[in-house]
Chains A and B, each alone.
Chain A
Amino acid sequence: MHEMSLCEGILQVLETESQKQGFDCVKNVWLEIGDLAGVETEALLFCFDAVTRDSLADRAKLNIIHTPGSAWCLKCAKNVSVKQRFDECPQCGSYQLQVTGGDEMRIKELEVE
């Protein structure tokens, strides 16, 4: 979905941070993307190159750290791991699950100079 907008969002954050933290070139970006975040990694990499051209992150490398999906099963009353939003509880088969993790999209750290 909307990977182009996400990359524009990343670039905005980089530009804001470059002012705050005093750097003018970004070499590496580490993103944390949850398995349930609905982000297509390939599309994100492709768009990132296009969006950052001639910016402070020109030729920066995008590194993606995948975080697993997790949910609270109301029946088992505990946390279980899920791969998709519509997965059933791997222990009891219930669909009464509340996603508790794996939907994040965060910029974790940068290598800058």
Chain B
Amino acid sequence: MCTVCGCGEGETKIEGEPRRHDHHHHHEHGHDYGEGPAHAHAPGMSQSRMVQIEQDILGKNNEYAMANRGYFLQKGMLTLNLVSSPGSGKTTLLTSTLNELKDEFPQVVIEGDQQTSNDAERIRETGVAAIQINTGKGCHLDAHQVGHAVDHLDAPDTSVLYIENVGNLVCPAAFDLGEAHKVAILSITEGEDKPLKYPDMFHAANLLLLSKIDLLPHLDFDVGKCIEYAQRINPGIKVIQLSGKTGEGMDSWYRWVRANRQIAMIDCPVAQSDGGA
């Protein structure tokens, strides 16, 4: 890994291409490192000393996240970080959403998976621009990868950017990408105690989508209990029950997206000139 800006040179790929290290992304960072740490010890001269640094381990990621957030703010964009276990129906939900809302406002997608660009291809079939990040061995997207992908995408002002994170309820909780909200998707085939098993994620999310609700008659899933568990972890979490297949509850989700896009555009100069449509 490049220690200058965190660019992985091994496994991470954007659209199947190894991420090139040309640093044209929109966030600025200084790069005057010289030759790296010198291992020159003059005999008898070395002396231990203590250095106070008090720095957040994820400080670097958070800096990139703040740069991304500033970019989204300036463009009046709403950015949603969609997180879930593998197989929760994220991509199906997303394609339905894109189809429903594509005549109302511009939308773009960043897809994160360990391998393949299958999901980005499914998204592009809806006519919406999508970019695939393959994390290789990585288990989550980080803010720096997203910064690179956003550069490739060149998203229109006041658009909605959906970031479909790697299917994993653990690591993505800790990595801020610069999004306005994390949206957790939990399918009811997974068991109602998932919020207790993976508390960090449900704590970090602002919205919980309980998906595949059409399967409820066939399962022993206790919706009330699941919501209660989620609210134990995060008293302020909002819950919407929906089914991408039957369309049940999808209207509530669309209304949530529209409302949050309006919020993202408040006081944004670019948004006012397009009438906030």
- Cα–Cα distance between A82 and B265 once the two chains are bound (Å): 38
Judge whether B139 and A2 touch: CB under 8 Å.
yes
Judge whether B3 and A11 touch: CB under 8 Å.
yes
Q: Is B273 an interface residue (CB 8 A)?
A: no
Given A1-B174, A86-B196, are A27 and B48 neighbors across the interface (CB < 8 Å)? yes
Chain B contact-residue range equals 35 or more
Q: Is A110 an interface residue (CB 8 A)?
A: yes
- Cα–Cα distance between A97 and B196 once the two chains are bound (Å): 15
Residue among B47, B142, B199 with most chain A CB within 10 A:
B199
Q: Digit string of A75-113 for contact with B (CB within 8 Å is 1, else 0)?
A: 000000000111010000001111100001111111111
Chain A contact-residue range equals 35 or more
Judge whether A25 and B51 touch: CB under 8 Å.
no
Q: Is A67 an interface residue (CB 8 A)?
A: no
Which one of B15-23, B53-61, B77-85, B153-161 contacts A?
Answer: B53-61
Q: Considering the complex, give the chain B residue whose CB is closest to the CB of A29.
A: B53
Judge whether A15 and B3 touch: CB under 8 Å.
yes
Given A27-B48, A108-B54, A111-B48, are A15 and B37 neighbors across the interface (CB < 8 Å)? yes
Q: Digit string of B74-101 for contact with A (CB within 8 Å is 1, else 0)?
A: 0000000000000000000000000000
Which of B46, B54, B171 interacts with A1 by CB under 8 Å? B171
Given A2-B174, A5-B142, A85-B233, are A105 and B58 neighbors across the interface (CB < 8 Å)? yes
Q: Is B119 an interface residue (CB 8 A)?
A: no
Having A13-B60, A112-B51, one finds 20 other A-B pairs with CB under 8 Å, namely: A1-B170, A5-B171, A6-B58, A8-B6, A9-B59, A13-B53, A13-B59, A15-B37, A24-B41, A85-B200, A86-B195, A86-B199, A86-B229, A104-B56, A105-B56, A105-B58, A107-B56, A109-B51, A110-B53, A111-B48
Task: List B residues at the A interface (Cβ < 8 Å).
Answer: 1, 3, 6, 33-34, 36-41, 46-61, 138-140, 142, 170-171, 173-175, 195-196, 199-200, 203, 229, 231-233, 235
